[in-house]
A and B are shown apart, each in its own frame.
Chain A
Amino acid sequence: MKILALDSSGLVASVAVVEDDNLLGEYTVNYKKTHSQTLLPMLHEVAKMLELDLHTLDAIAAAAGPGSFTGLRIGAATVKGLGFALEKPVIPVPTVDALAYNLWGVSDVVCPLMDARRQQVYTGLYEFCEGRMQCLLPQCAAGIDEIIEKVNRLKRRVIFLGDGGNVSAPRIRERCTVPYQFAPEHMNKQRAASVAALGRLLFENGNVRTAAEFQPDYLRLSQAERERQERARETGV
């Protein structure tokens, strides 16, 4: 089974092709250029290098969210377009789950931290048990203090990763009471290979959508909707 995976949920743009238990190719760029300019040319490069006929793919996996709203939509529109033209199913892979999957097999608790602005991170808590990833806290948007508190309560060693690690580091040093480490650079950001690998498991469990059905999972309302709800609450309407 052959899966193409894309991740454009954060600053990283990443493309990977996985066939069964082989990573055939992965192209990851963490540079200032916009995903709209990089993602498809990167796919083209990988496909050329692998002499990949896109029609031989079984499915297309995408980091479905959370993440940068615009980044998620560029990824989503790209996989929806590919899925539509190739008539292939799409696998929505939760971004934070895929990030945690970078650290497959560790015995510590894994806590991804993606910068979500507004003093929040997109995060979750995971552990690996006999080769399977278990979710202790499903992906969510949370204040950094809130997640540190949850980590402390587990009373276990923890590994942090993700682009929210830097902004959160001072808070973690100050408040984290359990032993912790930050994952190194080869595994601390989004990687399409992890999206593909986790996507393969989801696919086997029937977790697929048509290209038309696939939607980003923002985990957050737009600012306008949020403010409107707040106003409605205040006025009691």
Chain B
Amino acid sequence: MNEQKEIKILSIESSCDETAAAVVVNGRDVRSNVISSQIALHTLYGGVVPEIASRKHIEKINQVIAQALDDADMKLSEIDAIGVTYGPGLIGALLVGVAEAKAISYAADIPLVGVHHIEGHISANYIENKDLEPPFLCLVVSGGHTHLVRVCDYGKYEILGRTRDDAAGEAFDKVARAIGLGYPGGPKIEKIAKEGNPDAIAFPRAKVADGAYDFSFSGLKSAVLNYLNGCRMKNIPVCQADVAASFQQSVTDVLVEHALRAIEEFRMDKFAIAGGVAANGTIRNALQEACQKKGVRFYHPSPILCTDNAAMIGAAAYYDFLAGKRAGLDLNAVANLKLGE
């Protein structure tokens, strides 16, 4: 029998407003993926409140972990490693997952692997695309991040560009609030934009002069706010759907343009997206179409793996584990952790 040993990883994620745990075997086989979302709670405040998020994490974390093991029909003693997100994210929220993971790792004598949240998002693509292997390009777009990353190898990343100000998802939230759609902005804008004209309003497509692949979305957000103000002053009724569609088109155009340029320059034949905004169908379709025209294979996680989850952390932890990465009992949460540190 030439049976390879299965590496079973219990992973924990608590960097923002989802308390999540999963069991992933050999990095790609998800046995369980439990997510306890706090969105309803934060909606009252128009965005994530860090202290409330941290309190909710500590309230739920043991149940979520127990459920993940239960769903996978596994005991803690069968687990080979524990993976945990230790940054970037909300410090108080991250600390809950990190302290919990360290305590379990110590008490049960199971190796611990610290995982970068963005590395997790990128690795979400491995789960449903068994053929995907580095090198490839990955665009990570979420409420907290906008990164264009060259994945050179497992665990080896080169950041080509990042946002200079707001993350793309953050711009969605802010614009949604400005036109009265509420939180979370992404799905709400996408929904109403379907009824609007994407060419109705000419919002800017920002370029960053000294960073070929960097992004800037605060100018776009301001342009939307200015437009809304202008309408108010002139007493012109605002068409929510047109504003949403035109704003979304502007974000899409910028993302597609960056993607295509990077594909050309680095001669990549594989392109992946990840992060909460990757669940946006309009953006995903535009990128997919652009890639297809270039003969580039396009990968994307299904929506449940786009938003924050622990399965993606388990996928990333597997490759880190194979590479020999281990975290000590002094592992700390790092709010602004850089990729590749």
Contacts and interface: CB of A to CB of B under 8 A. Distances in A.
Interface of A: 34, 36-41, 43-44, 54, 69-70, 73-74, 76-82, 84-86, 211-212, 215-216, 218, 222-225, 228
Contacts of B97: 77
Contacts of B49: 222, 224
B63 A85 contact: no
B65 to A, nearest CB: 7
A78 B52 contact: no
Closest 7 CB pairs of A and B: A81-B103, A77-B99, A85-B107, A222-B51, A212-B62, A77-B100, A85-B108
B52 A224 contact: yes
B329 A77 contact: no
11 contacts: A36-B331, A38-B330, A41-B328, A41-B329, A73-B95, A73-B96, A77-B58, A77-B103, A212-B62, A212-B66, A228-B45
Contacts of A39: 99
Residue with the greatest number of chain B CB neighbours at <10 A, chosen from A69, A85, A228: A85
Contacts of A37: 330, 332
Interface in B5-57: 44-45, 49, 51-52, 54-55, 57
B104 A81 contact: yes
Contacts of B330: 37-38, 40-41
A224 B96 contact: no
A56 B95 CA distance: 28
B143 to A, nearest CB: 18
B76 to A, nearest CB: 6
B117 interface: no
Contact of B102 (A34, A40, A211, A212): A40
B154 to A, nearest CB: 28
Q: How large is the interface on B (under 10, 10 to 19, 20 to 34, 35 or more residues)?
A: 35 or more
B59 A80 contact: no
A70 B95 contact: yes
A43 B45 contact: no
A36 B332 contact: yes
Contacts of B127: none
A84 B329 contact: no
A216 B104 contact: no
Contact of B101 (A38, A81, A216): A81
Interface in B97-126: 97-104, 106-108
A38 B30 CA distance: 33
Nearest to B52: A222
A35 to B, nearest CB: 8
Contact of A44 (B45, B63, B106): B106
Contacts of A43: 106
Nearest to A81: B103
B61 interface: yes
A46 B17 CA distance: 35
Given A36-B99, A228-B45, A216 B58 contact: yes
A213 to B, nearest CB: 8
B152 to A, nearest CB: 31
Nearest to A224: B49
Given A73-B95, A82-B107, 13 more contacts: A36-B331, A40-B103, A40-B330, A43-B106, A44-B329, A69-B54, A70-B54, A70-B91, A73-B57, A80-B61, A81-B99, A81-B103, A85-B108
